Amino acid sequence: MSDTAASAPVAIADHGAVRTITVNRPDKLNALNAATLDALHQAFDDAAADDAVRCVVLTGAGSKAFVAGADISEMNTLTPVQGRDFSLRGQRLMRRIEKMPKPVVAMINGFALGGGLELAMGCHLRIAGDNAKLGQPEVNLGLIPGFGGTQRLLRLAGRAATLELCLVGTPVDAARARELGIVNQVVPAAELEAETMKLATRLAESAPLALRGVLDCVNVGGECAIEEGLEYETAQFGLMFSTDDMREGTGAFLERRKPAFNGR
Ligand code: COA
């Protein structure tokens, strides 16, 4: 296990092949300032480049919040050009996460508001404690979501839910977020960490190249016409037949044993 300094805006810890990246500003409910956005970007670059990491869990420090939004005190004084740059900085981070070649699970341990929900939506899977509150309350600040929220929520949960959350600005509880399709799973808060690690460990033991193939297909397919998406899927499917993992997975099934995937 490796840990970063307690005062760093982001903390890193490895448990086997699962890397946990923790937004570490609990006294500010893990609000995303520019330095935290940059530290997160670096942490995801590092996790992508490290073959020993097979799954990433993203969470917030403390018991109250995943992330309570972009840093309002930092935004309060921005000029229009700086505001645009801040939006781009956040959007680039969410895109980095979305395009990770290995699964990223958001462990939502409390408030996921504004940039916090946008951060969670950049992840591939979301598991929330039953005490979580999720929302896009930017209109209450005279703002709109700027880290991809209007676009990702639309694709994830549809127009009605997006307009409800972004126009009304009132957060929803975890159960309602599950109903809307914003989170994949809701568990009792006390079991959140254990349930998330169970899911992450399962993903970490799965075939890395197959997981990457799924992520690539879904990313590409979400942004193109179905014919192109199907073509891309066929190419990725064919590519799987070049991997050791495909021989191992199908062979293990036929031999009635557990497969051991090596990512080659
Ligand atoms: N940006 C900057 N600081 C924030 C923050 C944010 N998005 N969210 C919380 N904080 C800070 C508070 O200013 C406070 O700092 P302080 O102790 O130095 O005054 C600290 O975190 C604790 O927050 P507090 O508001 O006292 O906690 P609470 O339990 O009373 O309320 C929330 C929790 C989440 C309801 C409330 O903090 C809130 O509404 N936050 C903003 C949510 C938001 O609008 N996000 C979208 C931003 S675009």
Given 74, 118, 179, 231, which residue is catalytic? 118
CA atoms within 13 A on the CB side of 190: 0
Neighbours of 160 (CB within 10 A): 9
DSSP states along 118-182: HHHHHSSEEEEETT-EEE--GGGGT----SSHHHHHHHHHHHHHHHIIIII---EEHHHHHHTTS
The closest residue, in CA terms, to atom 40 on ligand 1 is 68
Question: In 3D, which of 122, 103, 84 has the Cα closest to residue 207?
Answer: 103
| Test site for ligand 1: of 28, 140, 170, most ligand atoms within 8 A of the Cβ | 28
Q: Which domains does the chain have, with CATH numbers?
A: 3-204 (3.90.226.10), 208-255 (1.10.12.10)
For residue range 151-209, list pLDDT tens digits in order: 999 999 999 999 999 999 999 999 999 999 999 999 999 999 999 999 999 999 999 99
Q: Does residue 118 have an active-site annotation? A: yes
pTM above the 0.85 mark? yes
pLDDT tens readout for residues 76-109: 999 999 999 999 999 999 999 999 999 999 999 9
The end-to-end CA distance of the chain, in Å, is 25
CB of 118 shorter than 6 A to ligand 1: no
Give distance in angstroms: CA of 70 to centre of ligand 1.
10
Sheet holding 10-15, edge to edge: 10-15, 18-23, 55-60, 104-108, 125-129, 185-187
In this predicted structure, the answer to whether residue 25 has a pLDDT above a threshold of 70 is yes
Nearest in space to 58 (alpha carbons), one of 199, 218, 206, 220: 199
